[in-house]
């Protein structure tokens, strides 16, 4: 029996037939995998992607993202980070943060673009994906510190 991530749902596969018996379990785990981040005077609720399988799926295969929602990627070690938009139809921005939660840079991500977008820094400990212009519309720029980061 193999574990697969399909459209963000953990399923099992037996003889080519997908069994969704773990669907409700996945959603209970997902709900506890959220954090509320404070960025200046703004609150952003994020899903936490801290495992390789969650990070690979990211926000793929979704039709929309509510206004004050996003996803935070938690890396084991600071590094140069790379993102792509395979199977992602929502225009997004990605903010790269250091281990102290300071925004290093914010870059746009183009729907369905499979070319990797790289951080300039090799000290990225977190990345936050949000709807396009979420940061700009709130005048949030590199140098701002994010509070409430998951460890």
HSE, CB side, 13 Å, CA atoms: give it for residue 56: 8
pLDDT of amino acid 149 = 96
pLDDT of amino acid 88 = 96
Pairing of strands 92-97, 103-109: antiparallel
pLDDT of amino acid 132 = 98
pLDDT of amino acid 3 = 36
Using left for φ > 0, alpha for ψ between -120 and 50, and beta otherwise, residue 148 falls in left
Does residue 16 surpass a pLDDT of 70? no
Helix (H, G, I), strand (E, B) or coil at 11: strand
Does residue 22 surpass a pLDDT of 70? no
- For the chain, domains (ranges, CATH) are 1-32 (no CATH), 33-147 (2.60.120.1140)
List, for residues 83-141, the tens digit of each pLDDT value.
Answer: 999 999 999 999 999 999 999 999 999 999 999 999 999 999 999 999 999 999 999 99
Give the residue from 35, 49, 41 showing the smallest Cα distance to 126. 49
List, for residues 36-83, the tens digit of each pLDDT value.
Answer: 999 999 999 999 999 888 998 999 999 999 999 999 999 999 999 999
Confidence of residue 30 (pLDDT cuts 50, 70, 90): very low
Cβ atoms of 104 and 96 within 8 Å: the answer is yes
> What pTM did the predictor assign?
0.79
List, for residues 90-102, the tens digit of each pLDDT value.
Answer: 999 999 999 999 9
């Amino acid at each position: 029996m193999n574990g697969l991530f399909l459209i963000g749902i953990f399923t099992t596969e037996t003889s080519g037939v997908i069994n969704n018996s773990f669907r409700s379990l996945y959603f209970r785990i997902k709900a506890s995998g959220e954090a509320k981040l404070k960025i200046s005077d703004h609150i952003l609720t994020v899903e936490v992607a801290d495992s390789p399988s969650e990070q690979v799926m990211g926000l793929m295969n979704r039709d929309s993202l509510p206004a004050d929602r996003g996803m935070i990627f938690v890396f084991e070690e600071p590094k140069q980070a790379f993102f792509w938009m395979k199977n992602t139809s929502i225009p997004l921005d990605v903010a790269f943060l250091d281990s102290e939660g300071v925004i290093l840079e914010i870059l746009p991500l183009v729907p369905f673009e499979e070319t990797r977008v790289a951080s300039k820094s090799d000290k990225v400990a977190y990345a936050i994906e949000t709807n396009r212009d979420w940061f700009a519309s709130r005048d949030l720029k590199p140098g701002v510190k994010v509070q409430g980061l998951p460890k």
